[in-house]
Amino acid sequence: MIRVAAQSISVIATLLFLTSGASAQFYRGTEMEFGKNRLQFEIPNWQHIDFQQYNVYFYGTGKDLAHFTAIESQKTLKKLEKVLDYRMRGKVYILVFNTYGEFKESNVGLSMPEGNNIGGSAQLQGNTLFIYFDGDHTNFKEQIWGGLTEVIVKQMMFGNSWKEMVKNSALMTVPQWYIDGLVSYAAQPWSVEIDDQLRDVVLSERLNKFNKLVGEEARFAGHALWYYIAETYGPDVIPNIVYMAKISRSIESGFLFVLGFSLNDLVEDAREYYLKKYEADEKYRDMPDGELLKIKTKKRRSYHRPVVSPDGNYVVYTSNELGQYKVWLYDLSKKKRKRLLRGDFRLDRIVDNSNPIFAWHPDSEKLAIVRDHKGKKQLIIRDIRTNKKEIREFRRLEKVLSFNYSTDGRYMVLSALKDGQTDLFTYSLATSSMIQITDDIYDDLNPSFVPGSKEIIFTSNRISDSVRIRDDFNLISENKDVFLYDYKAKPETYKRIVSTSSIDEELPYAVNDKLFTFLSGESGIINRYVGTVDSTISRVDTTIHYRYFTKVRPISNYKRNILHHSLALDAEKFVELIRYKRKYRFYLEGFEDVHAQDSISQTSYRQAEDKRERLRARSQRSTVRQLSVTPVIDRAPPSTDPDEVVNIHNYRFLNEAPPTDKRDPVENSKAVTLKVPKAIQAMETSEDQKLKFPRQENYREAFRATEIITQVDFNFANQIYQPFNGGPYINPGMGAVVKAAAFDLMEDLYIEGGVRIGFNGENSEYFIKYINRRKRMDKEIGFQRQALQQEFNPNEYVKSIIHQVKGSLKWPINDVLAIKGTLNLRYDRNVVQSTDDRTLAIPDSNIYWTGLKFELIYDDTRKRGLNLYNGTRFKIFAESYMEVDFQNSFGPGQTDIHILGFDFRNYKRIHRSIIWANRLAGSTSFGGRKLVYYLGSVDNWIVLSDQPRFNFDQNIARNQNYYWQALATNLRGFNQNIRNGNSFVVLNSELRIPVFQYIIQKPIKSDFIKNFQIIGFGDAGTAWNGFDPYSDENAFNTKTITTGPGGNLVVRIDNKKDPFVGALGFGLRTKLLGYFLRWDYAWGIEDGIFQQPMAHFSMGLDF
């Protein structure tokens, strides 16, 4: 059975060698660089506006967004510094992207390959903030709040100078929920959406497993804990907690010293607090009575925007998992679904749930899909019966947020981004022409046509109903109301049909010209409401003037928020999406099942918010009462300063256009002049003083340090093949590595440099590289120098000094796949150390090489913890070197070395954080000269006993013209050189179990315990010469014994060993003093026989 498996691996390896076409290399065992990509289709021309505490960077049509950012940043910093009791040091650099799509194309957040950094690195938390506009200024403002909060909190935790950052990041570990939760809380302390998400987490008993929460659930849990602290102990204790955590370098101590409670007790108190509150909120609330659609959902995916077809036969919706979206069509009659579209990849990044979007044609046979694809805004019109599709492009728009068909199917109404604004447009399908309806800074969202009329119903955050109001960011409302507008008649005012204070209305749909429905969180849970528009005569002069009013009533009272809804007017049905008990549920109901209610009870959150609103209103009324009426006998002359005189019956806002017509005078009207006291006037002037905008300038590259590594290791820092010395492989011994890296502000340009000093004083290295990731093709140039001491023959010591210059070009095919080509120039200077007269006479040798590499790189892995991944990555490579003889000629000959190889790794999540990791790797060399691989042991092996590191009993073929040497690992249970040859293949399989992460449910404070892992593993592999591992050319089949008088008797023993060896064992992993330490205990298997167990102690990540 073992032999069959070994032969199968041999066949797979041979096939992969024959089909490989790119370059990478096994310079030092398992270490291999992978990495993800960004596709940049357009290169923005950045500009910036500089202020005292921050700089705002923008490009293209983003000037208005930059101004809004500057205004909000000034307000936000003042409030945050007061709330957190901390003065921000240094400047914040704020990069404003016009859309999420353009943000995703940038290199922002794309880290460099982490490699095998055993000791971690000090990430220097820079004051750089990246935000993007998604069409909603409320969300944009939350990004500003959250980003500035993160900058200040990280300054409080880690300091501002690089020395403080290095020290504090090394001595203190901050869990994800701590900072992410605090940032989320500061950005928006509470909302209907946050309340609903936490309600589901608490009632699903997920808060009991605090330590096991990751991603969004961890952020919500952290947010809830900070909110509980602020509500229970007051918000003033939060900066004290953060400060004490920094001083004591312990998150636990911060809570204990300030609140007097341990973190575990605090989490338990918060859980009981929320459980009691939410159980009370759920009383007298139901789930929908309609049909629960049998749509299979997965907990790791989110689901969005279900839209029912007008005839009620289909529902289309989208799912999203880590950024990869899929569009599904569900047949209501057949109870089956099929996938219509898929895009992007599952990666750890900010997820855009607004892409793609879709709408049904009135005939229910055509489905329109709008998506961002390769920098373009595509409109795909698909016939669901014939599967034929038509693709168009919206060239004038930056992003389409929502759209709907007209009742005759000839037009579409769109909410879209254009020139940094969210406006409404109509689009003619016949002529592909577009007409802009609104053109201002206010956010006009969720438009749809009103059946039987020329009106459009939509939501907006505009304060004024006037069409011609001037743009003023101060007039953007905090909440959205529902509006009607006749896009044909184009009147001078919008018709506001629903208006509520501090409450958003969303997704309005008109049933007819009198009846409409929408979503609102007025009760504290987002429910469906129905509104009836009516009118009455307000006055009569030459014409009749009407006053419009709306009667609104709730028609649902659910336990959870309605995330989305849509109507099928022909079928008189509607579909709703709700997330309940961590599962998304789709409900289908008929119009006849809907019953309006007079009112529904409010949640405790909404009651508390309403109480705060009343207190704020009372405070404002108190301020107004302090204003005094100026008596006629005032000795001072009447004020003519318009800032001091307010006519409360005849006024307009500063940026409001003058009225175009005069209203009829109201009888018995009287103007009352109020004089604002000087103290209040001065206070208002200082608070509302307009921000002065300096001159904008073009961006010039400036680098900032982002990473510093200082560590001790047992491996080479550079990736360079060693000269062949007949064995053993030269290990550099213990040495100190210092490396620093810097990015420019846009993270397009990267510089890295470092040095490694061996403690033995012999093996030293230094390196530097520069990477330009601007534009789609990435450019890289680097220089490496390595010095190592080797013994080639008895008493012949050679110091090899290797210089290497590399230039690379990488072309990303998509976010996870790229091809890379590298030109390599290498210079070896070999100096024979003088130990006698013979060695003194040996001249130095100078060898020059030129080489080419080609690599195909794939990487879609997601990090789930230290040394825990999920996904797949691989590299297939080809490499060719040629010695350059300046005295003779260039060209192929006996000095050529050609290398082919692959490294395939897959990480499968078994349960929660338990990962099954598998690796299949191999390589072969051929040509006039070859590369020899020594199979066995592990990388960065620290030999603590007297056992030999290298197996000298295993023959190394001297007739293969080996010129370089490298390690082939991992194969535990053996030392180096259990097999050797110009080809190798190895299989590693590990089950990684982070024991305490898996068992303990409360927060873990110790890095040692948190990262402690138990590993079960199996290894198998071989190295060989010839065509296959069973070739007679293999040196391990021959053993030579020299004996007799004077050693003149040589005995050669031929045997038939199984070329494949293997190992079974277990290991331990953990992080100690900043280093990831590994201990493996393995039983080697050779010729089917278990060998004596061997322990390997090492440092390193992955396999």
Number of residues in the chain: 1103
Distance, C-alpha 766 to centroid of its chain: 33
Q: Is a pLDDT exceeding 90 seen at residue 509?
A: yes
Pair 154, 125: CB distance under 8 Å: yes
| Strand pairing class (796-812; 291-292) | unpaired
**Low-confidence winner among 277-291, 586-600, 888-902, 982-996 (lowest mean pLDDT):** 888-902
What pLDDT is attached to residue 549? 77
**Contacting residues for 806 by C-beta, under 8 A, at least 6 apart:** 780, 781, 782, 783, 784, 822, 823, 824, 825
What pLDDT is attached to residue 720? 87
Digit-coded pLDDT (tens) for 396-415: 899 999 999 999 999 999 99
pTM: 0.84
**Low-confidence winner among 433-437, 535-539, 947-951, 986-990 (lowest mean pLDDT):** 535-539
Pair 498, 551: CB distance under 8 Å: no
534 or 922, greater pLDDT: 922
Minimal CA–CA distance to 681: which of 641, 652, 636, 647? 641
CA-only gyration radius of the chain, Å: 35
**Listing from the earlier edge strand, what are the strands of the sheet with 291-292?**
291-292, 583-590, 573-580, 562-568
φ, ψ dihedrals at 62, nearest 5°: -90, 15
Minimal CA–CA distance to 555: which of 614, 511, 607, 620? 511
**Contacting residues for 741 by C-beta, under 8 A, at least 6 apart:** 112, 705, 706, 707, 708, 750, 751, 752, 753
What pLDDT is attached to residue 982? 92
Question: Which whole-number Å values give the CA distances from 830 to 200, 796, 827, 961, 1024, in the listed order?
Answer: 68, 12, 10, 18, 29
How does the average pLDDT of the chain come out, rounded?
Answer: 83
Rounded to whole angstroms, the Cα distance separating 898 from 924 reads 8
Minimal CA–CA distance to 565: which of 580, 581, 551, 585? 585
Digit-coded pLDDT (tens) for 368-380: 999 998 888 999 9
Pair 603, 524: CB distance under 8 Å: yes
What pLDDT is attached to residue 306? 96
End-to-end CA distance of the chain: 25
Digit-coded pLDDT (tens) for 894-924: 678 999 999 999 999 998 889 999 999 999 9
Digit-coded pLDDT (tens) for 173-226: 778 788 888 888 888 888 899 999 889 888 887 777 776 777 788 888 889 999
Look at the block and give the residue holding tokens 């009760």: 523
What pLDDT is attached to residue 661? 38
Q: Is a pLDDT exceeding 80 seen at residue 128?
A: yes
Rounded to whole angstroms, the Cα distance separating 273 from 251 reads 22
* Interval 639-658 mean pLDDT: 41
* Interval 266-273 mean pLDDT: 90
Look at the block and give the residue holding tokens 């024991």: 995
356 upstream amide cis, omega within 30 of 0: yes
**Low-confidence winner among 8-22, 129-143, 547-561 (lowest mean pLDDT):** 8-22
Residue 758: how many CB atoms within 10 A of its CB? 19
What pLDDT is attached to residue 939? 87
What pLDDT is attached to residue 1? 39
Rounded to whole angstroms, the Cα distance separating 276 from 278 reads 6
1100 or 8, greater pLDDT: 1100
**Low-confidence winner among 3-17, 225-239, 410-424 (lowest mean pLDDT):** 3-17
- H/E run at residue 31: none
CA 263-265-271 angle, 5° bins: 100
Res. 845 pLDDT band, cuts 50 70 90: confident
554 upstream amide cis, omega within 30 of 0: no
Minimal CA–CA distance to 971: which of 919, 907, 1033, 900? 919
What pLDDT is attached to residue 733? 80
Q: Is a pLDDT exceeding 50 seen at residue 806?
A: yes
Digit-coded pLDDT (tens) for 694-744: 888 898 888 887 778 888 877 787 788 888 988 888 888 888 888 888 888
Res. 665 pLDDT band, cuts 50 70 90: very low
Digit-coded pLDDT (tens) for 966-975: 999 999 999 9
- The tally of CA atoms less than 13 A away on the side-chain side of residue 737 is 23
Helices H, strands E: what count in the chain? Answer: 16, 57
Q: Is a pLDDT exceeding 60 seen at residue 641?
A: no
Q: Is a pLDDT exceeding 60 seen at residue 790?
A: yes
- H/E run at residue 419: none
Q: Is a pLDDT exceeding 90 seen at residue 1005?
A: no
List the domain boundaries for the chain.
2-31+702-1099, 172-285
Share of the chain above pLDDT 90, in %: 44
Res. 652 pLDDT band, cuts 50 70 90: very low
Pair 756, 764: CB distance under 8 Å: yes
* Interval 800-825 mean pLDDT: 94
φ, ψ dihedrals at 232, nearest 5°: -90, -45
φ, ψ dihedrals at 782, nearest 5°: -150, 160
Q: What residue type is assigned to position 503 of the chain?
A: I
* CATH code that applies to domain 2-31+702-1099: 2.40.160.50
Q: Is a pLDDT exceeding 80 seen at residue 451?
A: yes
Digit-coded pLDDT (tens) for 44-74: 899 999 998 999 999 999 999 999 999 999 9
Res. 309 pLDDT band, cuts 50 70 90: very high
Question: Which whole-number Å values give the CA distances from 159 to 93, 122, 176, 612, 702, in the listed order?
Answer: 17, 13, 18, 36, 22
